[in-house]
Amino acid sequence: MSRVDEHFVRVRDYAARFDLSESAVYKKIDRGEIGAIRIGKTVRIPSSEMERYLSPTAVLEEAGAPRDGEPENLGDRTARFEEQAGCSPREYVESWRSGTIEDTPANAQLAIEALALRAVLEHPHLVGSA
């Protein structure tokens, strides 16, 4: 395994990991939602980008969620999300995955936040383990 392979993933591997099409990943790269680099004619995604999406607490912290994980703060964050999105994080994720929510950068940000909130709400032990 080369050094590049240790620190970067192929678009197809990223797409498979997150159950996306390769074209959807390329669109997210073009919009700046996923960081990537070009090596010759190929595009590679830093493994840190995968870790960012696999760590719900890190995504919540990036979005301004409390770092201390106190339930009332998580509740406030969830209430703020529901007010902004008009539904619960779980409902938003289901709608996003079914394609009933338009694929825009703003909606993609909400989907990321919904995924993180849903993960923390369903697995409270994740809070503070980042």
pLDDT at 20: 87
pLDDT at 11: 92
pLDDT at 81: 84
Compute the distance between CA of residue 90 and CA of residue 93 in angstroms, rounded to an integer: 5
Compute the distance between CA of residue 7 and CA of residue 118 in angstroms, rounded to an integer: 28
pTM for this entry:
0.44
pLDDT at 7: 81
| N-term to C-term CA, the chain | 28
Question: In the chain, which stretches have pLDDT less than 70?
Answer: 1-6, 53, 55-73, 123-130
Q: How far is CA 69 from the centre of its chain?
A: 19
Q: Which two tokens stand for residue 8?
A: 């970067």
pLDDT at 94: 87
Q: Are 117 and 83 in contact (CB under 8 A)?
A: no
pLDDT at 107: 82
Task: List, in order of start, the domains of the chain with CATH numbers.
Answer: 3-52 (1.10.10), 56-126 (no CATH)
